[in-house]
């Protein structure tokens, strides 16, 4: 069972010039987003996935990820170790 997986590193410089400008605008607006996630979102929008579906998905995922405050609280009260 030989499987070859190809991975590419997505950085800001890998984005098209149009996407790079939009990425810079998103960052200037105060949003922190990884370039790979930004590219995935742009690809989904290019595939005509409705924006409201992406927003709903991102909200659901963000609710499942522990916030930094919760992580810090669990570490300070000893339950995170």
pLDDT average, residue stretch 27-52: 91
Tokens 């105060």 locate to 30
pTM confidence score: 0.59
pLDDT average, residue stretch 28-53: 91
In whole angstroms, give the CA distance from residue 76 to residue 74.
6
Packing angle of the helix pair 51-64, 35-46 (nearest 10 deg)? 150
Please determine, for residue 58, whether its predicted confidence score (pLDDT) is greater than 90. no
The pLDDT, as a whole number, for residue 52 is: 95
| End-to-end Cα distance, the chain | 38
Q: CB atoms < 10 A from the CB of 39, how many?
A: 19
Q: Is the dihedral of CA 17, 20, 26, 28 positive or negative?
A: negative
């Amino acid at each position: 069972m030989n499987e070859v997986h190809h991975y590419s590193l997505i950085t800001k410089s890998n984005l098209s010039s149009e996407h790079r400008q939009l990425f810079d605008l998103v960052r200037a607006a105060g949003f922190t987003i990884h370039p790979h996630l930004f590219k995935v979102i742009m690809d989904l929008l290019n595939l005509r996935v409705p924006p409201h579906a992406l927003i709903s998905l991102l909200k659901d995922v963000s609710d499942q990820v522990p916030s930094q405050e919760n992580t810090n609280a669990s570490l300070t009260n000893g339950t995170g170790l």
